[in-house]
A and B are shown apart, each in its own frame.
Chain A
Amino acid sequence: MENFTPIAATIGGVLIGLSAAAMMLFHGRIAGISGIVSGLIGPKPGEIGWRLAFVGGLLVGGVMMGFLMPSGFAVDVERSAPAIAVAGVIVGFGTRLGSGCTSGHGVCGISRVSPRSMVATVTFMATGAITATIVTQLFGGTL
């Protein structure tokens, strides 16, 4: 557990929780990233502004943090571009089929004690763990 960063992880988690709370307080919306992004593809009228603004905030936040904390974007895993691209397609399709990702189901849904979100979170954690184990054990951690 030499890579464990408990304090940073907890502080970061609290910030994420505050952001999600702000979306509910001001907008009455669940801060589910995959849902907010996919709502920009063929958007309904009146649904574009807040979604674009939130995603814009994520992007600008990324730019800012890239300067403030460049170590936060280190890549210490062996993954080829095709593997990452395929993973992207699977994540895009899977999050829409399953109506959410780590934010919408994992954080917001479990907080609301939603049975769907709890089942979804256990499911994606399980398939994620199985996949990670296969990659390490059978492919030597390289894809």
Chain B
Amino acid sequence: MKYQVSAFLAGVLFAAGLVVAGMTQPAKVIGFLDVTGAWDPSLALVMGGALVVYAIAFRLITKRSAPLLGGRFQIPSRTDITPRLLIGASLFGIGWSIAGFCPGPAIVGFGSGMNEAFVFMPGMIAGMVLFRWWDAWMARRAEVHT
């Protein structure tokens, strides 16, 4: 139960941060990405603020031997730059810029009853399911060829 409550409260805090930061307003995201228009640098400060806090916290927290609620720290260890990483990030940037939503604000916007998020979210879930299928298909194909 502690497990669910802390994750839930972290989610609420994350949502509040995104809304206060203006990230649930697609115009602020697109206004940052469109450097040729009336440029809005707010997004850089959102990331900067989050980065400073998390960079310090991460170093302090991972000095512990384990998370407070047990288990172990699950931190990605890969360092290889792959075509998947580059193509995936490229696609994400394009979609992010078309709608002005990334996954977090889309979910928060959905909760607030934002029409745009009602359209974006099913698309996003469909894209994730599509990836699962494609990935499984690629894995099968690789097996056949080896």
A residues near B (Cβ < 8 Å) are: 1-6, 8-31, 33-34, 37-38, 41-42, 49-66, 69, 72-77, 79, 81, 83-99, 101-103, 105-112, 114-116, 119-121, 123-133, 135-137, 141, 143
Contacts and interface: CB of A to CB of B under 8 A. Distances in A.
Interface residues of B, number: 116
Contacts of B123: 84-89, 91-92
Nearest to B37: A136
Given A3-B42, A95-B92, A115 B81 contact: yes
A12 B49 contact: yes
A72 B120 CA distance: 18
Contacts of A76: 25-27
A73 B41 contact: no
Contact of A98 (B36, B85, B99, B135): B85
B7 to A, nearest CB: 4
Closest 7 CB pairs of A and B: A57-B11, A92-B127, A88-B123, A98-B88, A12-B21, A62-B111, A61-B15
B34 A132 contact: yes
A77 B121 CA distance: 18
Could you say which of A9, A56, A79, A129 has the most chain B C-beta atoms within 10 Å of its C-beta? A9
A136 B90 CA distance: 19
A89 B126 contact: yes
9 contacts: A6-B45, A17-B53, A22-B10, A33-B104, A59-B108, A97-B88, A116-B81, A120-B86, A133-B35
Interface of B is mostly: helix
A92 B126 contact: yes
Given A61-B15, A91-B95, A24 B58 contact: yes
Contacts, number: 502
A136 B34 contact: yes
B124 A92 contact: yes
Contacts of B73: 24, 28
Given A5-B22, A9-B46, A98-B85, A54 B128 contact: no
Contacts of B18: 12, 16
A89 B124 contact: yes
